[in-house]
Amino acid sequence: MKPFRLKQPSVLPGFGLTLGYTVLYLSLIVLVPLSALFFRTATLGWEEFWRIVSDPRVVASYRLTFGASLAGALINAVFGFIVAWTLVRTSFPGKKIVDALVDLPFALPTAVSGIALTALYAPNGWLGQYLEPLGIKAAFSPLGVTIALTFIGLPFVVRTLQPALEDLDSSVEEAAASLGAGRVQTFLRIILPAILPALLTGFALAFARALGEYGSVVFISGNMPMQTEITALLIITKLEQFDYPGATAIAVVMLVASFAILFFINLVQWWSSHRYRAGV
């Protein structure tokens, strides 16, 4: 007869219950809708699926969506770092106001953002009237799409970098300077490796947010097929035409591509974080 042993208490009380609730919640909110999307697409034959997703109009929307999203995320990675560095390392009048304005794209409805950007960059807008004589067409062009995606992605980079910059010990920079390192060398050898995981996270969040953006782009883009039509708008168009198989097929391509890109970025982030810790 085996001796009776008391069950060891869990380190986290209620872990089993919370884990079950988490899995159930994610299943209902994320997994079930995504599974339905794949099941709906599975009703199409391979030839029909390929015909839909490789249509020239659809391919043009892929090119614009991924290209503008990547450009917006890269711009935010550079200028978002500058904004975050300024907010963390410097003090100036109106700093709290600037810090609050960073979250403005979060607070504004996306349609309002699109209308405001269109009013600014239209040929007769406040900024567009000065760009038009220079031959720069901001609104109703791919440039306008990039501007809108940059606008909505900035907070993701800034808010992700701020905690990393706050945790960065300035004494390490001072030690590097005392050893003869210049500013560029200190940034490349000390600062950048420490904040690179956070920077990649912010970049990935901004990129993923831009891929699915609709409201702020639909006004400023002009929605011209083969030129300024984004994939999200094309999906909405097919839904309005009751072409549900076509809409789900395009959505599946976007979903798979987004997962692949995010997975790659997470791998790079893990590698950079692991390399930095090993160096430390």
At 5 the pLDDT is 54
239 part of a folded domain: no
* Chain centroid, CA 179 distance in Å: 38
- pTM here? 0.81
8 part of a folded domain: no
Structure tokens at 132: 């038009």
46 part of a folded domain: no
261 part of a folded domain: no
Listed range (185-199, 203-217, 234-248) with the worst mean pLDDT: 185-199
259 part of a folded domain: no
- Judge whether residue 7 has pLDDT over 80: no
Q: What is the CA radius of gyration of the chain?
A: 24
Listed range (34-38, 120-124, 137-141, 218-222) with the worst mean pLDDT: 34-38
132 part of a folded domain: yes
207 Cβ contact list (under 8 Å, min separation 6): 69, 70, 72, 73, 153, 261, 265
194 part of a folded domain: yes
* Number of domain units in the chain: 1
The domain of 204 spans: 54-229
Which of 82-96, 170-184, 189-203 is most confident? 82-96
255 part of a folded domain: no
CATH code at position 100? 1.10.3720.10
Among the listed residues 37, 36, 35, the one whose alpha carbon sits nearest the alpha carbon of residue 252:
37
Burial of 204 (0-12, 13-18, 19+ CB in 10 A): buried
